[in-house]
Chains A and B, each alone.
Chain A
Amino acid sequence: MPEIVAFNTIDAGIEPEAEKVQARATQAGPRGRKPRRALSGRNIMIYGTLIVVALYYLLPLYVMIMTSLKGMPEIRLGNIFAPPLEITFEPWVKAWSSACTGLNCDGLSRGFWNSVRITVPSTIVSIAIASINGYALANWRFKGADLFFTILIVGAFIPYQVMIYPIVIVLRELGVYGSLTGLIIVHTIFGMPILTLLFRNYFAGLPEELFKAARVDGAGFWTIYFRIMLPMSMPIFVVAMILQVTGIWNDFLFGVVFTRPEYYPMTVQLNNIVNSVQGVKEYNVNMAATILTGAVPLFVYFVSGRLFVRGIAAGAVKG
């Protein structure tokens, strides 16, 4: 299972220094790092390459921001890399509150709030269910549990396209096709393999004595989950939350397939605004809208730092 491997390797990558330092300290002989000239050819090569690469990665973000702050006349005349001569926030206002998709002209704000209404419950429901699954698999294995779990993990590799139509039918039978509830169910389903794996591995790593002691004291399934497992597992819940918030916010396919236009998430609405064929293209508004859509996952990314790396390493297979 690639997720497990990736997850562990990332873990190994995060805190290797302490061990290395220790290893070095126990050796005899001269201590400390060999003094090195700061401007050796080797260093210039390494830092030069890394800086060029970093600039390449930053370039699109820079261009996005610059374009979104320019007026259309300046964009037509100027060059996309040049900073704006005259800074205007007009495109941002327009992208948020009055950009058009088809006949609706109430801007991206609608998509934003839809995405919030999709992401918050989907994240909570999917994590709640997956954590209980993981707990049952780690501590209360019943006959056949491993079989279901294997199907679940194999299912993570099946292209979504294969399962989309059957899900449409199931949701239609349940009467929730096209609604927010339906989309929340879909996100819960497709988040389940990776999250269940994440929680199962985490709970299996907790000391078993703890569980046994609670059992001896007469605690049952739910008591142990809420009173012992849950409070002890906050870090993994945070990782799962990062994974789900960014994943669900960035989703496009499920939003298109499983919701009606009035519930379209932000990504779908953004695509409709930018790639609409009618009207004059307003590149500055488009770029402002693009930044607005990317802002939430970017915020999560910059705030969560290394936890994000753990999350995506675990969820890389989801992408």
Chain B
Amino acid sequence: MAGHTRGSGRPNQWSRNLNAKFASVPMILTAVVIFLGGTIWTVVYSFTNSKLLPRLSFVGLDQYERLWAAPRWLMSVQNLLIYGFFSLVFSLVIGFVLAALMDQKIRFENTFRTIMLYPFALSFIVTGLVWQWLLNPEFGIQSVVRSLGWTSFAFDPLYNSNIVIYGILIAALWQGTGLVMCLMLAGLRGIDEDIWKATRVDGIPMWKTYLLVIIPMMRGVFITTLVIIASGIVKVYDLVVAQTSGGPGIASEVPAKYVYDYMFQAQNLGQGFAASTMMLVTVAIIIVPWAYLEFGGGRKRA
């Protein structure tokens, strides 16, 4: 583009466009040193037996074997799978249904949108603490329902290790569905009005139009949303820390928390690096096929 415009012979390759290069130093350092270098560093050190300090004494796949034998890691992975599956399904379904309702040319659309989206402005810590209080079995929803006369009512997900991950899911959905609704609504607004007219003329019921015409047309929006939700799921950390601190016992541990605890509390860096490398692999499994599908046919300029 610009910068190559002046063609006075062949000036020194380096002095050309010098200001732009100079201004890009922070970006280049971030990209190369932190993102690329840091990632490679972590992966390399995940094959060492680093404890308190990183040390380059390789032990092969030792850390990974230990990782996949650790009950806490297995619990974390299981939780992430349950949490991930349900939060994907629910946030897509709820988000889409809400967006479809909002798209019926309703009044007070802005008010509804504001209400549904405000939890997204709050941090996971705030979200987790509010729901910790609402789900408190002594004072929260359970006690209110019991005081209404249904004395055997039990709803204490945060204190029941079998269902604690669903307690976290409730809070996460409260926080995140508003965003999904907004993305879906934007997608619906992008659909041509004529499609609706055509289906109305043909007498196709509305739910069928949504299911067979609109949703397939919104493929791109769905995939984008899916990637956004999925990469958020893998990172889930603060919410668990605030709501349950991983408890009761290890029942609500998640991989991101496993990494943090092993790196900064248990002084077992090798385990932390191996676990974070597993997170990286997970994200790659989500991102690479999507990037391939989306950008496979030549690079598009945005």
Contact = CB atoms under 8 A, between A and B. Distances in A.
- The judgment on whether A and B are partners is yes
B182 A309 contact: yes
Interface stretch (A91-99, A228-236, A282-290): A282-290
B280 A133 contact: no
A228 B113 CA distance: 36
B118 A57 contact: yes
Contacts of A270: 125-126, 129
Interface residues of A, number: 110
A274 B123 contact: no
B106 A46 contact: yes
Given A136-B24, A286-B133, A298 B39 contact: no
Interface in B98-117: 98, 101-102, 104-106, 111-117
A57 to B, nearest CB: 5
Interface stretch (A116-124, A160-168, A175-183): A160-168
B118 A158 contact: no
A81 B139 CA distance: 10
A32 interface: no
Given A141-B3, A161-B276, A10 B42 contact: no
B19 interface: yes
Most chain A CB neighbours (cut-off 10 Å) among B26, B112, B123, B187: B123
A252 interface: yes
A159 B279 contact: yes
A80 B126 contact: no
A6 B183 contact: yes
B228 A211 contact: no
Given A162-B39, A252-B123, A309-B113, 15 more contacts: A2-B228, A12-B189, A54-B111, A80-B141, A133-B23, A140-B17, A141-B3, A151-B32, A151-B35, A159-B280, A165-B54, A165-B263, A165-B273, A252-B125, A305-B114
5 contacts: A13-B187, A80-B139, A140-B1, A152-B27, A155-B31
| Smallest CB-CB A-B distances: 4 pairs | A13-B186, A155-B35, A250-B123, A221-B19
Interface of A: 1-2, 4-6, 9-14, 16, 20, 23, 33, 46-47, 49-50, 53-54, 56-61, 63-64, 67, 75-76, 79-81, 129, 132-133, 135-137, 139-142, 145, 148-149, 151-152, 154-155, 157-167, 169-170, 188-189, 192, 196-197, 201, 204, 211-212, 215, 220-222, 246, 249-253, 256-257, 267, 270-271, 274-275, 283, 286-287, 290, 293-294, 297-298, 300-302, 305, 308-309, 312-313, 316-317, 319
